Amino acid sequence: MTVARVLPATLVGLILMFLALPIVVVMVVSFSSATYLTFPPPAFGLRWYRAFFASDDWLRSTWLSLWVAGSVVVLATLLGTLAALGIARLPKALRVLASALILSPLIVPVIVVAIGIYYAFARYGLVGTPAGLILAHTCLAVPFVVTSVNASLAGIDPRLEQAALSLGATPTGTFFQITLPLIRPGVLVGALFAFITSFDELIIALFISGSGAVTLPRRMWDDLLYQIEPTIAAVSTLTIVLTVVLMGCAHLLRERAPT
């Protein structure tokens, strides 16, 4: 192999190792038998996984995060798909403006969004409630759905819808029989990203969750602040595995999407 081939491959390998190293360290520490965070572990075992599944606090936060993320998926997928369909039918100038506004939560620092949401929700008693978390996370998740559905809509030949309408199909029938099947992969990918966004989100949870609705990332943050133990490494590993599985599903859906 020539230097021209070896050097890029080596650089890519080093970058991947650099990015993966923190994840590998956390996963190894999660199997430690020690009562404190240490690397490398003195011995290996499943002690901290058993501690996680035996803890009511950890499990309560996990189920809350799953429930909130599932609710966000429903809301964000519905709103994001409708928004993408509406944007696709706007004139070009308005389309650019509408897209910029919808994608603004991805551009503006999350802490700025969190502060704005906190002050808005505090007036209506939504701070510290699951409903407040769901609405706040939906604000972050909708742009991912819009982006994914827009990509699917861009690959649809508009003549298909026109042909269906010319043959007597109603707009509703055309959507469910023509448009929706074609954009389904984009909708599902957007839904997966909405779930990941909500399940892993911390900053907004710090502002909105309060003591009555502590999500899993918030519980992990509190554990790091007040009692550092390897349980958090076990929780982190489970979260990493779930995220990787969902990202893999999103990749498969994109690969199988009609072109």
- Least reliable range by pLDDT among 19-33, 112-126, 242-256: 242-256
Which are the contacts of 65, defined by CB distance < 8 A and separation ≥ 6?
198, 199, 215, 216, 217
Closest CA to 65 of 245, 259, 254, 238: 238
Residue 75 reports pLDDT greater than 90: yes
Ranking 69-83, 183-197, 228-242 by mean pLDDT, the lowest is: 228-242
pLDDT at 42: 80
Q: What is the pLDDT of residue 18?
A: 84
The predicted pLDDT at position 4 comes to: 63
In this predicted structure, the answer to whether residue 115 has a pLDDT above a threshold of 60 is yes
Residues 247, 196: contact at Cβ < 8 Å?
yes
Residue type at 61? S
Average pLDDT over residues 78-103: 85
In the predicted model, what is the mean pLDDT of residues 20-29? Answer: 83
Average pLDDT over residues 13-38: 81
Residues 184, 182: Cα–Cα separation, whole Å: 6
Q: Rounded to whole angstroms, how far apart are CA atoms 77 and 249?
A: 16
> CATH homologous superfamily for 55-256?
MetI-like (1.10.3720.10)
User: What pTM was computed for the model?
Assistant: 0.84
Tell me what the mean pLDDT of segment 103-114 comes to. 87
**pLDDT value, residue 2:** 66
Tell me which of 46 and 168 has the higher pLDDT.
46
pLDDT band at 256 (very low <50, low <70, confident <90, very high): low
pLDDT (average), residues 149-174: 76
Cα-Cα-Cα-Cα dihedral sign, residues 157, 160, 166, 171: negative
Cβ proximity of 84 and 124 under 8 Å: no
Where would I find the H helices in the chain? 3-29, 47-54, 56-88, 92-107, 110-122, 130-154, 158-166, 171-174, 180-200, 203-208, 216-226, 231-256
Least confident of 11-15, 109-113, 120-124: 11-15
Mean pLDDT of 170-175: 75
Q: Where are the domains of the chain?
A: 55-256
Tokens of 79: 């709103």
Q: What is the mean pLDDT of residues 142-167?
A: 81
